[in-house]
Amino acid sequence: MSTNTAVSPVVTIKQKTRRDHTLLKSVLFLLPAWILLLIFFVGPILLTFYFAFTNLTLTGTEAKSTEFIGFQNFVTMFQDPDFRISVVKTIVFLLFSAVIGQQVLGFILAVLMKEKNKTFRRIIGIIVLAGWVTPEIVVAFCWVAFLSDNGTLNMVLQHIGMKPVTWMYTFPMVSVVIANIWHGTAFSMLVFQAALDDVPKSVEEAAVMDGANKFQVLFRIVLPMVKGSIVTNMILVTLQTLGVFTLIFAMTGGGPGTSTQTLPIFMYNQAFVNYQLGYGTAISLILLVIGIGASLIYMRSMKAEI
């Protein structure tokens, strides 16, 4: 005995109408968010790309009539020795304060805090997090007070019989690198803590039973298992460090000379000191390219998928 399982055309039409109605409601609910994204995210991005190819300025005759000049801003940029110096300073600052400093120190702190009691982890976490939650301008003032000629560090050196050092003048890049490491290490520590807590203890115990020591377990078992977190953290820390402006500007202003003039400082000087907004916008695109390039290098070198 056969049963007719054919779906009525009326039922099909009702189901389709119900799906269309649900889709319409979803679109209407998301429409305000889409409009805000277009106005405050997509719009500025498109304007940035456009202004980078114009002679936009804040003063002079060009301020009245902005013209499209093609790649002239980029030609001028790559011929400018100050730009090349800024690229080198940016790479140095990025390498030592982010890739080596925050990444390595954050991982070491996470490893040392692993499997410690909650009270110990809470105390150390609060101390490290204090630097991360502090605004950049406050961090800059703290480190200026610590490293200035009459600062805390020189007072300690004089107390133990050593000569004071003009840290901000003699070692300006070292000063801003240390300040940025102190400010941003907590983020890396939190990322690695979460990753290490997800590593099954049974895997580590099995490796120990097979004769592996602590370092072999760390480098041959744990590190490969948290590779994805390492790459993700490195990308985020790199992008954040490439945009560091307030810390350096408040501590050294990019000086002495051009010794700490990273690309954000150089971009600010060109756009808002020399009033060349088109040129400054072109520099921002180079920062974007460096960030994308570094991220791709990290992913290919670690062979990880994000």
66 in a domain, yes or no?
A: no
Same domain, residue pair 200 and 120: yes
pLDDT at 212: 82
At 61 the pLDDT is 74
Neighbours of 195 (CB within 10 A): 20
> Are 107 and 225 in a shared domain?
yes
pTM for this model (two decimals):
0.84
Would 220 be classed as within a structural domain? Answer: yes
In a shared domain, residues 20 and 158: no
**Would 77 be classed as within a structural domain?**
no
pLDDT of residue 14: 66
Q: Is the peptide bond before 172 cis (omega within 30 degrees of 0)?
A: no
- pLDDT score of 59: 82
Tell me the C-alpha distance between 38 and 50, whole Å: 16
Q: Both 195 and 289 in a single domain?
A: yes
pLDDT of residue 7: 54
Would you say residue 273 lies in a domain? Answer: yes
- State whether residue 261 is helix, strand or coil: coil
pLDDT, tens only, 136-157: 999 999 999 999 888 899 999 9
Taking the C-alpha atoms of residue 235 and residue 99, their distance in angstroms, rounded to an integer, is 9
Both 37 and 92 in one domain: the answer is no
Identify the pLDDT of residue 24.
80
Instruction: Give the residue among 40, 116, 69, 47 at the shortest CA–CA distance from 281.
Output: 47
> What does the pLDDT read at residue 18?
74
Pull the structure tokens for residue 157.
């050196």
What confidence score (pLDDT) does residue 156 get?
92
Residue 194 is assigned to a structural domain of this protein: yes
Residues 172 and 252 in one domain: yes
Note whether residue 125 is domain-resident. yes
Does residue 34 sit in the same domain as residue 148? no
CATH number, domain of 162, equals 1.10.3720.10
Structural domain boundaries, residue 120: 82-302
Q: How many domains does the chain have?
A: 2
Does a structural domain hold residue 282?
yes
Ranges of the chain whose pLDDT falls below 70: 1-11, 14-15, 303-306
Q: Are residues 36 and 98 in the same domain?
A: no
Structure tokens given for 4: 């007719």
Model pLDDT, residue 1: 45
Q: Are residues 140 and 93 in the same domain?
A: yes
